[in-house]
Amino acid sequence: MGFGMVGVSTPFPISIFLTPTTTLQQPLNKHFSIGVTTEASLSKTKPRPAVILPGLGNNSSDYEKLGVTLQGYGVSIVVPKVSRIDWLRNAAGLLDGNYWRGTLSPRPVLDWYLERVDEAVREAMLMTEGESLSLIGHSAGGWLARVYMEEFGNSSISLLLTLGSPLMPPSKDLPGVIDQTRGLLNYVERSCAKAVYTPELKYVCIAGRYIQGERFFGNSNSLVPIDSEQPVTEVAVMNNTNQSRSVSTVARARFIGQGYKQVCGQADVWGDGVVPEVSSHLQGALNITLDGVYHSPVGSDDTQRPWYGSPAVVDKWVHHLLS
């Protein structure tokens, strides 16, 4: 399977270079940091250390293989200590009236997460030798990285790279749409610094095009034309000869579409199976869309359902950590 770069949006003209992949298979601890000594790390252009911010419901060990892959490029990795059960702490927001009004703020509900990110950043800073570091935010970890930078400062951070992150709040007052973050993304959009792409600080936002959703009602065949050379894993594609599709294919596209609708307000859009493409980009950032890329490490594999952290996909974005 190929992973084509189908869309790149930049605030100004920029050249993009791809580098070869080297994957090292090594066991890692559940909560881990990786320091490496490689030819890259011994050179004058030693890659910045990076902190990977887990997505909602993920734990630290979900990113072990990604950490090993990045280790092959000479990038030292730290992952905050997060377990799946930790996310139950967010239930404290139910006691906040702002939750029910849809005006919830990240703090104090997410203080536990931000504090663990800060611990990981402090650990990574010990590896920088006075230089800067990168943040890699997967899924909700992308917008939580923005909150962290706003609340704890970003003077030590030179790159925020997001992977399938829902970065934009859904439009208000749309029928059938409930803000799943209960106002958190509105807070981020209103209160956090805008995305930039400057020599001092770069935002790189990566979206996946894995499957197109459909509406429950309306023209179920109104699909975006697909290039025959593009990967078509589980994409809702009409048969060219009889214009028919299986019931399961239509049902899946409609189910996925309802998830997309809760995030961006529209069902019949492309996305990574969880987050719509349009929600994963920010004005002012370097925005990239990759074909055939699934949302999560959970339920993925490196061939039929690769996610953002699969080695062949990492090959498409790792150069941003190395420059």
Return the pLDDT at 7: 52
Q: Using CA atoms, how far apart are residues 277 and 295, in angstroms rounded to an integer?
A: 11
Q: Which one has a higher pLDDT value, 81 or 105? A: 81
Stretch among 19-33, 138-152, 259-273 having the lowest mean pLDDT: 19-33
Exposed/middle/buried for residue 151 (C-beta within 10 Å: 0-12, 13-18, 19+): middle
pLDDT exceeds 80 at position 156: yes
Contact 207, 281 (CB under 8 A): yes
Q: Using one digit for the tens of pLDDT, what is the confidence trace for 3-12?
A: 454 454 433 3
Helices 140-152 & 184-191 angle (0-180, nearest 10): 50
List C-alpha distances in Å: 53 to 135, 139, 146, 179, 211. Answer: 7, 9, 11, 22, 25
Q: Using one digit for the tens of pLDDT, what is the confidence trace for 231-248?
A: 433 433 333 434 456 777
The closest alpha carbon to 21, from 319, 310, 315, 298, belongs to 315
Instruction: With cut-offs at 50, 70 and 90, classify the pLDDT of residue 64.
Output: very high
What is the share, in percent, of the chain residues with pLDDT greater than 70?
75
pLDDT exceeds 50 at position 30: no
Q: Is the pTM of this model over 0.85?
A: no
Helices (H) and strands (E) in the chain, counts: 9, 10
- Helix or strand run (H / E) with residue 69: helix 64-71
Return the pLDDT at 244: 56
Question: What is the DSSP secondary structure assignment for residue 121, as one 8-state letter?
Answer: H
List helix spans (H) across 178-318.
184-191, 247-264, 311-317
What is the secondary structure of 238-252 as a DSSP string? --TTT----HHHHHH
**Residue 22: half-sphere exposure toward Cβ, Cα within 13 Å:** 9
Each domain of the chain, given as residue ranges in start order, spans 5-207+275-322
Q: Which one has a higher pLDDT value, 216 or 308? A: 308
Exposed/middle/buried for residue 204 (C-beta within 10 Å: 0-12, 13-18, 19+): buried
Contact 117, 43 (CB under 8 A): no
270: helix, coil or strand? strand
Contact 249, 156 (CB under 8 A): no
Q: Please compute the mean of the pLDDT values over residues 117-132 and round it to a whole number.
A: 92
pLDDT exceeds 70 at position 69: yes
Averaged pLDDT of the chain: 79
Fold of 5-207+275-322: Rossmann fold (3.40.50)
Question: What is the DSSP secondary structure assignment for residue 139, as one 8-state letter?
Answer: T
